[in-house]
């Protein structure tokens, strides 16, 4: 009888557990997983995690770093933390230093708008985990698992290594401070900002650079050093870390608004636009400037007075002047001459080989009269096929991509005519046709100029088409007289 009762007791216990498990599975029936950008890190290196998760109707979009917990298995045992943020609250089994209880720095929220979810679709978001000094205090192999609203990710194995080389030098600086990657020490120490600025400059190739550079840009923004912040953040727009790139771009928009608001009515407006975002190597560019009248008698010369700040990766360079042509002296406003409140100027950039010597992604800013344009992102692709043949032709003729050599050497006219006939359909074609048309017009060969201008009057480059139509109108007027 006791055996039967024991069996029945076990049966009902199993049934009860099974029922609870089924109910529990129903409660956490959601999609959730986490992937890391790589499996090997060094001590203190921030970790970028991509979260994939589903939301139920009515659920708000979560602050993932605050609502996701992590379980870590290592040679020091199993530990669980209930948050992934710089302000970390652990489970009762893990106590944290008092410094973790708060953070002095403001955080720019980059999460999606927390509106209720309308669909059960899977969402994806990337975040940076910076609590690595607490999560992974010593080198070794770890297994981590993330939990979100009852659902668990797959277990992930990662390896934490001892930093070497430039990373070791940078690590030696960071480990001097408590809670190093929250950068509390920057705010708590009088020379903190100088130390951070030096850290960013001294270790550009370390694994800590981009994250620390973003923090420096954020700090400068809060201290109203808008230009300094913009310089730092612009370089991060091309960061290989998608989260930092996104944050830097968003913060730059705020900075641009702050600068415009501060300058409204006090300084001339300055904007710059390119015709497109994608070019092939050595392809000339037109930039269109919008300027506001200044109170000085000297009119700005955008082609020569503009400073160009170009960033590729972590390297930023500056050039003065957009063209190889030199115009001495300033342009003076004549007595009685009235300049419009706002005017637009298009300038051809022909220093392409200097500005963009190799294919890749670049961020470009134009600076004039102390004002900076919004950062412009462009991509330079390698030369291929007919475009490559056209460029090789120019190189053999010792000419630049807009045939400026024609004005110095008349024997280049035949080469330009050959180029137009052979390569007029390449990315360099419209520029060559316009140069040839201008040359004919300057030498009084109106009909020959007219033929060339007609070729480019419908160019897909608005500036060239506009100039061609204007020249055709002037030619028509001349011929009618």
Give the tens place of pLDDT for each residue, 159-168: 999 999 999 9
**Domain identity same for 156 and 50:** yes
Which stretch of 125-129, 267-271, 350-354 has the lowest confidence by average pLDDT? 267-271
* Residue 99, pLDDT score: 35
CA distance 177 to 473: 70
Q: What are the phi and psi torsion angles at 316 (to 5°)?
A: -120, 135
Three-point CA angle 463, 467, 468, nearest 5° = 115
| Six-digit token string for 347 | 């300038």
**pLDDT at 221 (0 to 100):** 75
User: What CA–CA distance (Å, rounded) separates 202 from 74?
Assistant: 33
Q: Are residues 256 and 293 in the same domain?
A: no
Helix locations, 38-148, DSSP H = 64-67, 132-135
pLDDT of 24 higher than 70: no
Is 386 part of any domain?
no
Of 140-144, 179-183, 369-373, 446-450, the range with the lowest mean pLDDT is 369-373
The neighbour count for residue 95, using CB atoms within 10 Å, is: 9
Please indicate, yes or no, whether the overall pTM of this predicted structure exceeds 0.85: no
pLDDT confidence of residue 269: 60
| pLDDT band at residue 112 using 50, 70 and 90 as cut-offs | very low
Residue 1 in any domain: the answer is no
Please report the pLDDT score of residue 301 as a whole number: 66
Per-residue pLDDT for 103 more than 60? Answer: no
Cα–Cα distance for residue pair 117/149, rounded to 1 Å? 15
- Distance from C-alpha of 453 to C-alpha of 440, rounded to nearest angstrom: 10
pLDDT digits (tens, 9 = 90+) for 357-395: 899 999 998 887 667 788 889 999 999 999 999 999 888
User: What number of helices (H) and strands (E) belong to the chain?
Assistant: 16, 20
The token duo for 151 is 């659902």
Residue ending a domain, choose from 263, 293, 315: 263
Q: What is the mean pLDDT of the chain?
A: 76
| Average of per-residue pLDDT across 53-76 | 83
Give the CATH number of the domain where residue 95 resides: 2.60.40.10
How far apart are alpha carbons 200 and 203 in whole angstroms?
6
Mean pLDDT of all residues in 25-49:
82
Cβ(212)–Cβ(352) below 8 Å: no
Range of the domain at 118: 32-161
Q: Give the integer Cα–Cα distance in Å for 260 and 216.
A: 22
- What angle do the packed helices 413-423 and 429-442 form, to 10 degrees? 140
Comparison of pLDDT for 449 and 218, the residue scoring more: 449
Q: Which of 217, 242, 263 marks a domain boundary? A: 263
Please choose, from the candidates 220, 165, 164, 169, the residue with its C-alpha nearest in 3D space to the C-alpha of residue 192. 220
For the CA atoms of the chain, what is the radius of gyration?
Answer: 31
Residue 318's Cα: distance from chain center in Å? 18
User: Which sign, positive or negative, has the C-alpha torsion 161, 167, 172, 174?
Assistant: negative
156 and 172 share a domain?
A: no
Question: What percentage of the chain has pLDDT greater than the value 70?
Answer: 72
Q: For 185-211, what is the mean pLDDT? A: 82
pLDDT value of residue 227: 86
> Which of 11-20, 128-137, 244-253, 261-270 has the weakest average pLDDT?
11-20
**Residue 2 lies inside a defined structural domain of this protein:** no
Look at the chain and report how many structural domains it folds into: 4
> Where is the domain boundary, 263, 280, 313?
263
The pLDDT-based confidence of 329 (bands split at 50, 70, 90) is very low
| Beta-sheet strands, E only, within 350-436 | 360-368, 371-372, 376-381
DSSP-derived letter for residue 295 is: S
**pLDDT for residue 35 is more than 50:** yes
pLDDT digits (tens, 9 = 90+) for 219-229: 787 666 788 88
DSSP 444: T
pLDDT per position as a tens digit, 61-72 = 777 888 888 999
Q: Is residue 245 part of a domain?
A: yes
């Amino acid at each position: 009888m006791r055996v039967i009762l024991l069996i029945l007791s076990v049966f009902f216990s199993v049934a009860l557990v099974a029922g609870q498990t089924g109910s529990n599975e129903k409660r956490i029936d959601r999609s959730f997983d986490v992937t890391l950008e790589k499996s090997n890190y060094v001590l203190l290196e921030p970790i970028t995690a991509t979260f994939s998760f589903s939301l139920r109707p009515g659920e708000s979009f979560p602050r993932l770093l605050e609502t996701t917990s992590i379980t870590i298995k290592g040679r020091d045992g199993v530990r669980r933390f209930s948050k992934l943020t710089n302000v970390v609250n652990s489970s009762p089994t893990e106590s944290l230093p008092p410094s973790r209880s708060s953070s002095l720095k403001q955080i720019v929220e980059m999460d999606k708008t927390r509106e209720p979810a309308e669909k059960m679709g899977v969402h994806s978001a990337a975040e940076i985990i910076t609590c690595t000094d607490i999560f992974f205090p010593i080198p070794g192999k770890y297994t981590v698992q993330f939990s979100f609203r009852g659902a668990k990710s797959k277990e992930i194995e990662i390896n934490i290594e001892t930093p070497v080389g430039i990373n070791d030098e940078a690590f030696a600086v960071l480990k001097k401070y408590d809670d190093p990657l929250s950068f509390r020490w920057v705010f708590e120490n009088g020379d903190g900002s100088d130390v951070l600025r030096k850290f960013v400059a001294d270790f550009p190739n370390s694994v800590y650079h981009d994250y620390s550079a973003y923090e420096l840009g954020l700090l400068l923004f809060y201290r109203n050093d808008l230009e300094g912040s913009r310089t730092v953040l612009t370089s991060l727009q091309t960061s290989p870390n998608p989260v930092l790139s996104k944050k830097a771009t968003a913060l730059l928009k705020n900075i641009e608004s702050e600068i415009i608001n501060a300058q409204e009515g006090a300084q001339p407006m300055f904007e710059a636009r390119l015709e497109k975002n994608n070019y092939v190597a050595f392809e000339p560019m037109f930039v269109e400037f919008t300027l506001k009248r200044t109170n000085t008698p000297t009119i700005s010369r955008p082609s020569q007075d503009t400073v160009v700040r170009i960033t590729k990766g972590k390297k930023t360079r500056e050039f003065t002047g957009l063209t190889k042509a030199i115009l001495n002296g300033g342009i003076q406003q004549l007595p009685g001459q009235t300049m419009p409140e706002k005017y637009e100027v298009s300038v051809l950039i022909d220093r392409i080989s200097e500005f963009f010597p190799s294919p890749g992604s670049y961020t470009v800013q134009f600076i004039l009269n102390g004002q900076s344009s919004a950062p412009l992102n462009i991509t330079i692709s390698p030369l291929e096929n007919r475009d490559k043949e056209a460029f090789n032709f120019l190189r053999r003729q010792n000419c630049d991509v807009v045939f400026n050599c024609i004005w110095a050497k008349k024997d280049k006219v035949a080469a330009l005519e050959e180029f137009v006939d052979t390569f007029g359909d390449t990315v360099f074609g419209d520029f060559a046709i316009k140069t040839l048309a201008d040359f004919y017009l300057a030498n009084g060969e109106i009909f020959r100029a007219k033929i060339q201008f007609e070729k480019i009057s419908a160019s897909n480059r608005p500036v060239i088409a506009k100039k061609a139509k204007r020249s055709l109108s002037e030619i028509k007027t001349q011929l009618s007289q």
